[in-house]
Structure 1
């Protein structure tokens, strides 16, 4: 009998392992396919930061960039063509996983322009356009969970489009996301879409919560405050999972499930550990729970494959202990609502900055390759 591996054990515990990275290099080198075969990876996510990094490797896009420059393509059009092509190819790599899992996994996520995160109409329009352009059934469109993004989630799902909701930091906002999901699926059913073909995840960010809260605890400096470092993110995610179990135990959900809908799974995002004082597998080991997704940077994936440990379901039944953590944070003076607002604003801005970096990179590449420069 073959010995199990940490990643195989994690998968067996009900955690879908997704890679938080995508590039032409990964696709063409066969790296993405090998991660599926050897490392239990069953999905992949992308975002503007990931594409900005990928496009810095211009050699992998040289032929297309030459052709696009020759025909005078715009920077925006070039970005759209290159990103959707990478995602289309990745969808094809994951097609077998998508088929094997009945559409639960094998998903590839592509985010709308972060500059539209506070514009509902623009987000809905771009989501539909990206879905049509990529034209793959295992695509997911990423929509930020801003206040303006919430109705966009419902309207996008209503059109039969699978959605990855990103940048969720608070349980309160997560509940709004789940309600938007249920409403969207109800409308999709009313619109005649096949619910069995659709899927959704709710990307609940983890490490950034600890980074922001720990910074504030250290500024307070008391023993009581310092003793709470490294506790907020996991407690926050555990409360989110409790909310998930509650919402997906309702009659409202049961009616959709009876029509073939899949639950919107919690996805633990931002699981790379930023504080080197913490174990590098912290946000994997402590967030093992059935029917969840953990999207990992490659370094975290490799760390867990090397020395990851599982201690069973680490989340179910931990709601009371998690609430005690937040009571302690409030007691020492942490304004958790301000933490969430800060993180959401920073998250949108970081992706917008990465989009600008991506725009600048592509603009420079097109200029260098334009006929006028020949």
Structure 2
């Protein structure tokens, strides 16, 4: 399945042992994306430097990232002055799409060098539309047209309502980053939505080769939620399972990915030039200081995935990250045992992941509200 994605120029794990950690990770088949973007990062040349020195080959954004960028420094002051008479929501879209377009231009050489696999930059549909299929489809099309770069990905949450929006957006020939995936059940539904979207795109006469997709499977938030439940139980057996749920969940997601993209339905699309939808490990910053700061990087190494990292995690791995081979494919049985042991203690993973999806959408909605408020203040200051 995945060897078709990124093999040219890759060295073996053994041959990579004397290279810098990020290069070794890339050579092992993991595409390193940065989970951050700001006008200052673009203007300073920092993003270009991370591409050159940290093997970064993609960027993800979300409302929280943009809210933080707008709230800090003065990099947006000139544009806010230009937009002083503009509606706040239109101003936010202009500012964010400008940043994404500029980042896409920085990463365009990577996009071309990898045959369209990497060099991608994501921008999210207004999270307040996460339960509105029609509005999500319309907004995705508008963002795609506004950014107007072949290496952009439109982020759509994997809510129940989002599944049809994902299919319809892909069917229109638009590349998609499916975000906020927490459960194995929902991930399988996401892969089905992807395959259906490509099948419809083919029927509509679209060239499948340029259509790209990743499925952002969230990691650390699963441990945070499950660990809290384990600590509440408090037994030695429960406490011994702390820090194990997220990796187990993600590893079994990759097993499901191998199954789906090893099947006949996918083979038909691949024969017509389609790219597989890669798992993207999201929420990879370690939240518990008791855990290694590279836990969700070193524990999820396998060929054909993306790991999008906040800068602190990227720098930690660049400083002291180590590889021990593929840490996913050989761990399926162990992962099943881990999740079974957690369930046996009375912790429902389905309930945990449902709650995380709801919380995830709400957090992004809150960040969007903060982004609107910050922009409103900036526009008011610019008007004097």
Q: Normalised by the shorter chain, which TM-score bucket? A: over 0.9
- Find the partner of 2:372 among 335, 340, 359: 359
The CA distance in 2 between the partners of 1:80 and 1:110, in whole Å, is 10
Q: How many angstroms does 1:317 deviate by? A: 2.9
- Find the partner of 1:29 among 24, 30, 44: 44
- Find the partner of 1:139 among 138, 152, 157: 152
- What's the TM-score, normalizing by structure 2? 0.95
More divergent stretch after superposition (316-325 vs 235-244): 316-325
Q: How many angstroms does 1:222 deviate by? A: 1.2
State the partner residue of 2:223. 210
Structure 1: gaps (5+ residues) = none
State the partner residue of 1:154. 167
The CA distance in 2 between the partners of 1:44 and 1:278, in whole Å, is 25
> After the TM superposition, which residues 230-249 of structure 1 pair with which residues of structure 2 at under 5 Å, given as runs?
230-249=243-262
> After the TM superposition, which residues 225-374 of structure 1 pair with which residues of structure 2 at under 5 Å, given as runs?
225-370=238-383, 373=384
- Residue 149 of structure 2: SS of its match in structure 1? coil
Q: How many angstroms does 1:33 deviate by? A: 0.4
CA displacement, residues 177-214 of structure 1 (integer Å, 9 cap, x when unaligned): 00000000011111111111111000000000000000
Q: How many angstroms does 1:58 deviate by? A: 4.9
CA displacement, residues 277-296 of structure 1 (integer Å, 9 cap, x when unaligned): 00000000010011000000
Q: Could you say what the CA RMSD is over the residues aligned between the two structures, in angstroms?
A: 1.0
Structure 2: gaps (5+ residues) = 1-14
The CA distance in 1 between the partners of 2:329 and 2:79, in whole Å, is 48
The CA distance in 2 between the partners of 1:192 and 1:134, in whole Å, is 23
Matched, 1:82 2:69: no
CA displacement, residues 190-249 of structure 1 (integer Å, 9 cap, x when unaligned): 111111111100000000000000011111111111111000000000000000000000
The CA distance in 2 between the partners of 1:317 and 1:184, in whole Å, is 31
The CA distance in 1 between the partners of 2:291 and 2:358, in whole Å, is 26
Detail structure 1 runs of 4+ shifted over 3 Å in the superposition.
Answer: none
The CA distance in 2 between the partners of 1:111 and 1:42, in whole Å, is 19
Q: How many residues align?
A: 369
Matched, 1:117 2:117: no
- Find the partner of 1:190 among 203, 218, 227: 203
The CA distance in 2 between the partners of 1:58 and 1:324, in whole Å, is 48
The CA distance in 2 between the partners of 1:31 and 1:303, in whole Å, is 17
Matched, 1:50 2:61: no
The CA distance in 2 between the partners of 1:308 and 1:240, in whole Å, is 23
Matched, 1:66 2:81: yes
Q: How many angstroms does 1:346 deviate by? A: 0.5
- What's the TM-score, normalizing by structure 1? 0.97
